[in-house]
Amino acid sequence: MTRDLIVFDLEFTAWEDSLAGRWLAPGQYKEIVQIGAVRLDKENFTVAASFHCLVMPRVNGLLSGYFECLTGITNMRLAKDGIDFATAYRRFVEFAGDGAIASFGHDEWVLEENIRLYGLKEMPPLPPFLELRGWFANHGVDPTGLHSCDIGPKLGVPFEGREHDALCDARSVAAGMAILIKRGAKLPDLGRDRTAQQN
């Protein structure tokens, strides 16, 4: 691996029917509410550093009861600790630094979608990206029906924390990656390409 790898996860606004309806109902957007990320040590793939922030949605500022129950993030907590997306995004990119970023699914699209939704200009570009659903599939783990929080337990690593918490979920994905890498799985050369290969 030629550069640091940052595994990240997002939680974004959701309603009871939004997943089935693919967020196509009027007024439903995937507004980011939480970013969690871990930087992996290049030698042993343990967590070397972590990043976490809560993000205040601009369009749907009041979280649904469904979202609160799913994630444990309450409107009260968000009002106290949430920051604006532009600030959160810049801090995340700064945390990633010269590393590459990776997520279980195309969470980079959600980051880009939020930039467009809010009409933000002159935002720093995302680092090179590795999509991990494909990577896990290529190394014998069928991702069908799995969420980020399922990856660690799927590979024998007990889940720690709360499911659907972005930082806990990122740690679970990273733990699953470490198991496969110990078994001989390889990561692609995470060079300067916008999207890295998955095998």
34-77: pLDDT as tens digits: 999 999 988 888 999 999 999 999 999 999 999 999 999 999 99
Contact indicator for 29, 162 with CB cutoff of 8 Å: no
Sign of CA dihedral 93, 41, 107, 52: negative
Angular region, 114: left φ>0, alpha ψ -120 to 50, beta rest:
alpha
The CA-based diameter of the chain, rounded to the nearest angstrom, is 47
Domain 5-182, classified CATH 3.40.50.300, yes or no:
no
**pTM of the prediction?**
0.93
pLDDT band, residue 2 (cuts 50/70/90): low
Question: Which ranges in the chain belong to alpha helices (H)?
Answer: 65-71, 75-81, 85-96, 107-117, 132-138, 148-154, 166-182
Closest-CA residue to 135 (of 105, 158, 112) = 105
Percent of the chain at pLDDT above 70? Answer: 94
With a cut of 70, say whether residue 101 has pLDDT above it.
yes
pLDDT band, residue 87 (cuts 50/70/90): very high
List the domain boundaries for the chain. Answer: 5-182
DSSP state of 185: -
